[in-house]
Amino acid sequence: MKYEFEKVGRFTMIHIAGNLDTAESTKRLDDEIAAMSSEGRHHFVFNLDRTTYLDSAGLSIFIHCLCDTQENDGSVFIIAEDMQVRRVLEMVGINRLITTYGSRKDFLDAQEVAAV
């Protein structure tokens, strides 16, 4: 798994490429997100357009981030274009806890509407 961060307005967008499935790689990302949160960043978007697979270790990142942001009036969103990835999110109910978009454009459009 590889990941990179991008500042998009008030959000930190986290682009995740490859398999989001090992405890050691997800722990590293989880620790980085926790550090950003302690620095005052509380709005995150996980862009999974290059994610090919995710399991419970990967899902735990979303839950940890959601817990941290809720304590600080923040927000978490997911962008998932791949149907297999979307199905996993729907099967475990993450999409009921975290708003999930089908594309980056959908996310950006929704944020413009919400800002009006």
pLDDT digits (tens, 9 = 90+) for 101-110: 999 999 999 9
pLDDT digits (tens, 9 = 90+) for 79-90: 999 889 999 999
CATH number assigned to the domain covering 2-115: 3.30.750.24
Using an 8 Å Cβ cutoff, are 60 and 26 in contact? yes
Question: Where exactly are the structural domains of the chain?
Answer: 2-115
pTM here is 0.91
Q: What rounded mean pLDDT belongs to the chain?
A: 90
Parallel, antiparallel or unpaired: strands 2-8 and 11-20: antiparallel
CA angle 18, 110, 99 (to 5 degrees): 55
